[in-house]
Amino acid sequence: MKPIVIPTRCWALCILALAQSTTAVADEKPADKPLEAGFVALFDGKTFDGWEGNLDFFRIEQGAIVAGSLEKDIPNNEFLCTKKQYSDFELRLEVKLQGAGNNAGVQFRSARIPDDHEVSGYQGDVGVAWGRPVWGGLYDESRRNKMLVEGPADQLPGWVKEGDWNELWIRAVGDKIELFLNGHPTIKYTEQDAQIARTGIIGLQIHSGPPTEAWYRNIRIKVIDNK
């Protein structure tokens, strides 16, 4: 039986088709994925509808919100914020960091500071700070200006997918706050100060510093009626 000879041109076309098929799967937009029961999308994957901020530092690419730049320093903390406020909820999203700065975060129950680039309130931390991973920690941005509670230092390095997408969940109900990273519970916090706001905007941060990008996608929320 004579061996079948496939022309070089056919091999090239087959390889090209396979590559295009693989790329299409890899670039699938998370916004097209079905939502969990009770959740609604906060970002449509295409526009900034429902959001406001300094668009010099935010863009939309591959179905994600990209904060910052790999080509220039970030002079100030910058935030893209929801126009709507939320009180009790569960927020779920995916986050990826690239670049030298390696720090960002997700604001919630927060408020813009008038005539300033800053936002004041709780932040679900993302990345590295003070020489250690702070993923899934709870920081108080431009208010008490400190970490309120951090995840387990001995386990965080094994939970983080460096340079890849990480699933961050934030659950805030009454005075109770919980954060989860890639399915792992990182913190539980009970707010003791009754004067701290229980409602506010949600914001996506890029931290000031060297060239860095924070990518956010698949952003969805479930409002919890605690009455």
Confidence band, pLDDT 50/70/90 cuts, at residue 227: low
Domain ranges for the chain, please list them. Answer: 32-223
Confidence band, pLDDT 50/70/90 cuts, at residue 19: very low
Arithmetic mean of pLDDT, 193-211:
97
pLDDT at 182: 98
Task: Look at domain 32-223 and name its CATH class.
Answer: mainly beta
Nearest-angstrom CA–CA distance, 191 and 150: 15
**What digits encode the pLDDT tens for the residues 74-110?**
999 999 999 999 999 999 999 999 999 999 999 999 9
Q: Find all residues with CB under 8 Å of 99, minimum gap 6, and list them.
A: 68, 70, 210, 211, 212, 213
State the average pLDDT for the chain.
Answer: 89
**What digits encode the pLDDT tens for the residues 122-144?**
999 999 999 999 999 999 999 99
